[in-house]
Amino acid sequence: MTEALATKPDAALAAYGPGVHRNITDSEYRALPYVCHSDLQEFAACDVKRKISSANAQAGNLAELFALDPTSYALRYFTLPDDRDEEGHQKHKFNTDLGKAWKLAQQKKQGSVAYEAVRFENHRAAQRRGDALTKSKETGAFFACERKAQVVVIAELDGVLCKGMLDLELPQDGEVVIGDIKTTSMLDAVMFNESIVKYGYASQAAFYCDLYASATDIVPRDFFNIVVSKTAHDDDGVPVTWRVRYTPEMLAFGRRWYQDVLRLKEKYGNAA
C-alpha cells in the first residue's frame, strides 16, 4: 500500500511510478502527470468525445460516492438548504449574479469556500441512486462482496505512462473483475448499449483492462459497467439499475480505438 500523497510535493507526485495504488484521492489522482482515457477523448475531439456539464459530472460523482463510501461526502461537499418556493420552482439560479452570491454566502457559512455545493434535491437524488446500486438485484452483488474502491493504476501502454482510476477492483477466485459505475439518462440497458461506442465506454473498458494487466501481469477476467438511470424508476420510485458485461469483441474494438489515438497523441499531441 502506498504512502498517502497529501503531504507529497508536486515533484513527488510527478515521480509517482507504475503500480496499483489504493489510497490516492481524486484530486491527487488528477495531479498525476500521466495520460488518462479522458485525455485521449479530448485529443480525438470527435463524436466519441462527450462534453459533460458540471451538473451531470456532479450527479455521476455523487452517485458513485454514495454507493462506494457515503461517509466521505463531508470531506468534499456540503448540501445547500432547500431552495424551492411553494410552487416547487427553484429560487436561485447559479448562472445569475443573485444566485452566485447566494451560493457563496452558503459556502462561507460552512467556514470555507473550498467545499463543492450540492443542491438539496440533487443530494437526495444521489442518495437514492447510490442506494439503488447497492441494493438492486442486478448490481448489489458488486458492493456486497470483497472489493477495493477508487483504485489508481499507473502503467505503460505502448511505451506511454498512463493512469486510470477504477471504481471497483473485485478479487474473484484468484482472478480480478473490474467494475465501472455509470450514471446515465438512458432508460434501459438497450438504449445504454447503443451509446457505448458513441461515448467511448468500450475504449475506456479496454484501456482500464490493459492498464491493470500491464501493472500487475493479471489480465482482468471481466469488465462491467454498473449503471443507474437518472430518468427511469420502478413503480416504487427506485432508480432502475443494470449491468453490462463487456465481451472480448467489445474490448477488441475499444482497444483499437485507444491504441490508435494514443499513438497519434504521442506523435502530434505536443506539436505547436
Whether residue 6 has pLDDT greater than 50 = no
Inside any domain, residue 121:
no
For 57, 106, 120, 239, the CA distances from 127, given in Å and listed in that order, are 15, 21, 11, 11
pTM for this entry: 0.86
Q: Is position 35 within any domain?
A: yes
Residue 77 domain flag: no
Determine, yes or no, domain membership for 80: no
Residue 119 lies in a domain: no
Number of domains forming the structure of the chain: 1
Closest to 117 (Cα-Cα) out of 172, 54, 68, 189: 54
Q: Identify the burial level of 49 via C-beta atoms within 10 angstroms of its C-beta, where 0-12 means exposed, 13-18 middle and 19 or more buried.
A: middle
pLDDT at 46: 55
Look at residue 270 in the predicted model and tell me its pLDDT.
Answer: 64
pLDDT of residue 197: 87
**What's residue 111's pLDDT?**
79
Confidence label for 25 from pLDDT (cuts 50, 70 and 90) = confident
Instruction: Note the pLDDT tens digit of each residue in 69-83.
Output: 999 898 889 899 998
pLDDT of residue 12: 46
pLDDT tens-place string over residues 89-123: 899 998 899 999 999 999 888 877 778 899 999 99
CA 200/CA 43 separation, integer angstroms: 13
Residue 111 is assigned to a structural domain of this protein: no
Share of the chain above pLDDT 90, in %: 67
Distance separating alpha carbons of residues 41 and 172, to the nearest angstrom:
31
Give the residue with greater pLDDT, 172 vs 213.
Answer: 213
Angle between helices 201-216 and 248-268 (to 10 degrees): 80
Mean pLDDT across 203-219: 97
- Cell numbers describing residue 138: 442486478
Expressed as residue numbers, the domain containing 190 is 10-49+128-267
Q: Is the pLDDT of residue 52 over 70?
A: no
pLDDT of residue 51: 53
| 6-10, 16-20, 93-97, 130-134: range with lowest mean pLDDT | 6-10
* 103 is a domain residue: no
- The pLDDT assigned to 110 comes to 81
Name the residue type at position 93: K
The residue whose grid cell reads 458513441 is 198
Residue bearing the bigger pLDDT, 255 or 75: 255
- pLDDT higher for 140 or 4? 140
In a domain, 240, yes or no: yes
Q: Residues 26-38: what's their mean pLDDT?
A: 91
CATH of the domain at 218: 3.90.320.10
Q: Is the pLDDT score of 49 beyond 50? A: no
